[in-house]
Amino acid sequence: MNNPASKQEPDLLIYLKEKYINLDLKGDTKKEIVEELVGLIFGLGKQKDKKALINEILKREKLGSTGIGNGVAIPHAKSDKMKNFILAFARKREGIDYGALDGEKTYLFFLLASPESNVGGHLKILSGISRLVKDKFIVDRLKKAADKKEIIKIFSVF
């Protein structure tokens, strides 16, 4: 098992696989988006209790929006049901009001589901995502990417 807590710069592609990418989100609310994101990983048998993870993420959102601005949100949660880290990426072309810190629409969503016991790894992956999306050029490329392979390519050069 990979332990990102032991690395300074986590390789996000260890956790983000093509099957965890959705470039055409349908939801129009925060809850619908979170349900779709969890569905990406739940549908693959990685999360036995879909509702529990959705509830954990929405509980985290009540503490403060994970819409960090610049069109990006990083909904995340730690769960005792998760054995490994899973990172999903999704895009909503029209964007939605996700309660972002800058008040702007959110287009890009990074869902991080982590084992409850590995807080350090969870924080390192969040930090890696944050560094990635600080680059407006990368955010623009993610918004415009034609397909999942292009998304993977963008992540691989970071």
pLDDT value at position 9? 55
Please report, rounded to a whole number, the percentage of residues in the chain having pLDDT higher than 70.
Answer: 90
pLDDT at residue number 98: 96
pLDDT exceeds cutoff 90 at 80: no
Average pLDDT over residues 20-47: 87
Residue owning tokens 């990368």: 138
CA dihedral 129, 131, 132, 138 (to 10 degrees): 140
Least confident of 45-54, 65-74, 83-92: 45-54
How far apart (Å, rounded) are the C-alpha atoms in residues 150 and 131?
A: 19
Name the residue among 119, 33, 17 with its Cα closest to residue 74. 33
Report the C-alpha gap between 76 and 20 in whole angstroms.
Answer: 15
Q: CA-CA distance, 126 to 129, in Å (whole number)?
A: 5
Residue 47 pLDDT exceeds 70? no
Q: Is residue 98 within 8 Å of residue 108, measured between CB atoms?
A: no
Each domain of the chain, given as residue ranges in start order, spans: 12-156
pLDDT the model gives residue 122 = 94
Residue whose C-alpha is closest to residue 98's, from 71, 63, 136: 71
Q: Where are the alpha helices (DSSP H) in the chain?
A: 30-42, 50-63, 119-134, 136-144, 148-156
Catalytic residue status for 122:
no
pLDDT category of residue 8 using cuts at 50, 70 and 90? low
Marked catalytic residue, from 30, 46, 76, 124 = 76
Pairwise CA distance, residues 143 & 32, whole Å? 20
Tell me: pLDDT of 26 over 50.
yes
> What is the CATH number assigned to the segment(s) 12-156?
3.40.930.10
- Whether the pLDDT of residue 46 is over 60: the answer is no
